[in-house]
Amino acid sequence: MRRENFKDLEYLEDSLEKDLSWRKRELLQLKLAINKNNSTLHKSTLIRSGIALLCAHWEGFIRTATNYYLLHIIDNKVKVKDLNNNFIAYALKSNFKNLKDTEKITVYTRFLNQVDKCGDNFFKLDFTDEPDARIVNTESNLSSKLFNEILQSLDLDCTPFLLKKQLIDRDILKQRHEIVHGEDSRRIDYNFEDVYVQLMEIIEKVRNQIVDAAENKEYLRNRT
């Protein structure tokens, strides 16, 4: 299947909105069912299902949105030398592996030559929309630490989310792990709506950051 072209800012925005919309719709329907408590399913079952779905959409949107942003930069045909260092690191990621556990000057020299050589090349990364072929992966376990690392790798601001560590790691991931591993965590006292609201705020802030970064070309070393 041919990959879509993410060059236009409008297409990037529309793609992010489409991906977010269906996720919000599913979560909202489940939130309403939990609040009404008029389902044939027990409330604790709905909450356990909701926690698992929250985690799935949390990982899914962050993975999708960050990959879309990288595809937007790639499709705008930017030269590597014109990018901020973190994107140059993406371009040279495979070359860094050759530096591991070596003290050979010749290896370091080849790396520096590669840095000079790639400067005039267009920024390009391999991408296939499959679990292990995407550029950014959430490793099926999007902890606060990994989330911050992903944002920083894309030169996005992680400071608005530093106080959300407990929400991400305890209220979402820890609960999700207990559920998928068959632990008896029937938490009727779990405040699904509060976690839902906070998580959607994080997701929408990330979406807005990506759109702003793309619009202002914040990936460029020198913006004019």
SS (HEC) of the chain: CCCCCCCCHHHHHHHHHHHHHHHHHHHHHHHHHHHHCCCCCCHHHHHHHHHHHHHHHHHHHHHHHHHHHHHHHHHCCCEHHHECHHHHHHHCHHHHHHHCCCCCHHHHHHHHHHHHHHCCCECCCCCCCCCCCCCCCCCCCCCHHHHHHHHHHCCCCCHHHHHHHHHHHHHHHHHHHHHHCCCCCCCCCCCHHHHHHHHHHHHHHHHHHHHHHHHCCCCECCCC
Residue 125 lies in a domain: no
Residue 118 lies in a domain: no
Averaged over 120-140, what is the pLDDT?
Answer: 87
Q: What is the pLDDT of residue 183?
A: 61
72-92 confidence digits (pLDDT tens): 999 999 999 999 999 999 988
Residue 127 lies in a domain: no
Whether the predicted pLDDT of 175 surpasses 70: yes
Residue 223 lies in a domain: no
Residue 40 lies in a domain: yes
Averaged over 36-54, what is the pLDDT?
Answer: 79
Averaged over 25-38, what is the pLDDT?
Answer: 85
Answering whether pTM is above 0.85, one says yes
Residue span of the structural domain in which 23 resides = 9-78+142-215
Residue 112 lies in a domain: no
Residue 182 lies in a domain: yes
Residue 3 lies in a domain: no
The domain total for the chain is 1
Q: What is the pLDDT of residue 1?
A: 45
195-212 confidence digits (pLDDT tens): 999 999 999 999 999 999
